[in-house]
Chains A and B, each alone.
Chain A
Amino acid sequence: MKTTHARMRIGTAACSLALLMLAACGGGSGTTGGGLGSGDLLVGVLAPFSGVDANLGPAYYAACLAAAPSINSNGGVGGRQVKCQQFDTRGEPADAAPAANQMVASNSNLMAVVGCTSDEASAVAPIVNGAHIPMFCMTGQSEFNKTKLPYFHRLVPADIYDAYAMVGWALYGPSPAPFHKAALVFGDDIGSQAFVEPATNAFTKLGGQVKNFPIKLGASSYRTEVTQVIQYQPDVIFTEAIGSAGTFLGEFKTLNSGKMIPIIGTSATIDPEWFAAVKGAIGVDDIVKYYGGVDLGYSFSGPAYAEFLTNLNAAASTFPQAPKYKQRGSTLHLYDGIIMSALAMVETNSKDPKVYNPKIKEIANGTSGATEVHTYKEGVDALKAGKSIRFVGAGGANTFDQYNNSVSGYILVKYNAAGDEVKVQDLTTAQTERISQAGGI
């Protein structure tokens, strides 16, 4: 009994200490008064910063580091400065849920959350939604295609559209396409395998053969898997394999007597780390020659992109890797998401997410007669002039559907030797529709 009491005392003390720590960590800024309040605002970057997908978080953090000065140097959000903070999910739902809970419990000044990849979106999106914080997630999972979470926003297409675009590359891309026999090499996790069914349906119904070769991401070797792929004799490999592409493709080249075959990657493979890993494993000449990827149609130009690029380069003083993400689609989109959130707060003159969250969609899609703006400053100026606005940012125009999913057209791309994306051709609407119908999901 004495032991039980002692344990209770220890437990109580531990709980008290934890509460004290939470209180000490909490926000750090008062939000007194109505309207937009005061003190710093926080953007939570909830993503993997360690683990197999540790390359994802930094791309999203870079987006925040670029967006914050756009807002802060133009008066902030009603004078409030925007800060960025990493919350590491380790790419695992079991670690992500506590990270999300800790983030929302200890930061009363959260204005938006960015990140939440396919690794952890299912676990964290309900938590962030329950805290009424607008979130911009980088997940392609189909479960969010018709989500009922009002604070969820997705500026990237669902994985099925990436899969269809890859099939588009294989069927309608430049020579040596069209391809007829594809090996699908994706991680064996649920998120990665989301590409498989739509790609298989579409490719086979349009005359191709396809076989799935799931791999365990993060393994030190895939020689047996590679041998099976080589025995299948594909003329193209569809892949993503974040964190393992270098190992898999390096072993493929070695075991295929030093010869590569064409590779078609998802939009997530348009990534400096993916490029560096694969370049190191198969050589720059082969990646330039054999890689083809799919991406949303970015212009990488215009006033919004110029400001994004300037801020991204400036962020190198605190985050040296930041400039590497100058052509990373997710970085551009999350940059836009943060600025749209800030503009929504300004337009509603409210720090309450329940009030400004619906305005985000309106600012993205625009209303009749809305003034098109490209930067935070342009947006604030237009709002002050009493105009309604449509924000077309660094990632281009957005069109949210009723489920807060924004989809736009695809382009087919390659890498140049420096690792920059080079547009090869557009995927036409007719081509996309034909593939979507064949995919049937």
Chain B
Amino acid sequence: MSIFAAAFGFGLVSMSVIALAAVGFTMQFGITNMINLAYGQVMIASAYVAYYLNRAGVTIWAGMIAGAVFGAVFSFLLNRLVYAPFQRKNTSLLGMVIVSLAISLMIANVLLPIVGYFSVSYQEHGGSLVRIGDIVLTNNQIVIIVLSVAIMLGIHALLRYTRLGKAMRATAANPTLARNCGIPTQRVIDMVWLITGALCGVAGVVAALNSDSFAIANGAGFLITALAAAVVGGAGQPYGAMIGAVVIGLVTELSAAAWSPEYKEVVAFALLVLVMVLRPQGLLAKRGALAAAG
């Protein structure tokens, strides 16, 4: 078996999971100007919603839908009840980051006594193996890849071909102008939090499913990976986040195969630094979907 082919297959799975997380994260920033550091904790909370349903006999795929609904509603409420009031008071971006960090810690500490600190597993983790040459994937991982591709296409269609998508792009480009043009920006922002919250929920469930075993402590790791992919691609750019996910997902696994797994994160973050040095705005900053509609 070629370790590189196998690692490439694993990279495909990783990038699918990362893309789901990173696109939601970057859309929140691109459209609402909010760096939501609580994103990873909402992901892990959604994963636990699916876990408890799965333990009660619900399939993990139905649990994933429930996780998406939870993520959507929670994110919507988070914005309406916490972030939006601060933004209305013109809190600085740095101030908003601190607020989201505080929310992240609060979610983690509220969850801890409820879900415990120990690792848990879905009842349908793993699944049977499918071999494509030297690439070895489980059924669940193939579903995750297909699901991720479908959702990415859906996001593309939403942003490019729907009125809501165009309204999102207009709001991202200039919210004041968009409002003056008759776009209900508040409703658009609500929709953004619902959609990205649902993405966050789905990402949390598939990340946990892909991980075989997960715990509350994984929330921070989820955030870091999504953040890295979003920054590599260009903060606020959904297509950039997709490319960032491909880069981070493949590089981590292939570098683990080429050198030592100890260095896979080092390589990924060295790449992140390199992109920041050579192209500080990220790979797709000027040409992303959320650039001003032309």
Contact = CB atoms under 8 A, between A and B. Distances in A.
B129 interface: yes
Contact of A224 (B6, B213, B222): B6
B221 A254 contact: no
Interface in B84-143: 108-109, 112, 116-121, 125-127, 129, 136, 138
A215 interface: yes
Contacts of B256: 224-225
Given A227-B1, A250-B121, A254-B127, 4 more contacts: A220-B211, A224-B264, A276-B119, A276-B120
A303 interface: no
Which bucket holds chain B's interface residue count? 35 or more
Given A215-B261, A224-B3, A280-B121, A243 B217 contact: yes
A247 B261 contact: no
Contacts of B136: 227, 255
B284 to A, nearest CB: 25
Nearest to B123: A280
A281 B213 contact: yes
Contacts of A277: 118-121, 213, 215
The 8 closest A-B pairs by CB, nearest first: A246-B213, A250-B212, A280-B121, A277-B119, A54-B117, A273-B118, A224-B256, A223-B10
B217 A280 contact: no
Interface string A250-287: 11011101000000000000000100110011000000
B257 interface: yes
B214 interface: yes
Contact of A225 (B112, B121, B261): B261
A146 interface: no
Interface string B202-220: 0000010011111111100
A214 interface: yes
A222 B261 contact: yes
Interface string A221-255: 11111011001000000000001111100110111
Contact of A214 (B1, B125, B210, B260): B260
Interface of A: 49-52, 54-55, 58, 188, 213-216, 218-225, 227-228, 231, 243-247, 250-251, 253-255, 257, 273, 276-277, 280-281, 321
Interface of B: 1, 3, 6-7, 10, 13-14, 17, 108-109, 112, 116-121, 125-127, 129, 136, 138, 207, 210-218, 221-222, 225, 253, 256-257, 260-262, 264-265
Nearest to A272: B118
A54 B211 contact: no
Contacts of A280: 119-121, 213
A34 to B, nearest CB: 42
Contact of A216 (B127, B257, B261): B261
A213 B261 contact: yes
A222 to B, nearest CB: 7
26 contacts: A50-B117, A55-B117, A214-B260, A216-B261, A216-B265, A220-B211, A220-B222, A221-B211, A223-B13, A223-B253, A224-B7, A224-B264, A227-B7, A227-B10, A231-B1, A243-B215, A243-B217, A244-B213, A246-B119, A246-B213, A247-B214, A250-B125, A250-B126, A254-B138, A255-B136, A273-B117
B131 to A, nearest CB: 10
Contacts of B213: 244-247, 250, 277, 280-281
B4 to A, nearest CB: 10
Nearest to A217: B217
Contacts of B1: 227, 231
Contacts of A214: 260-262
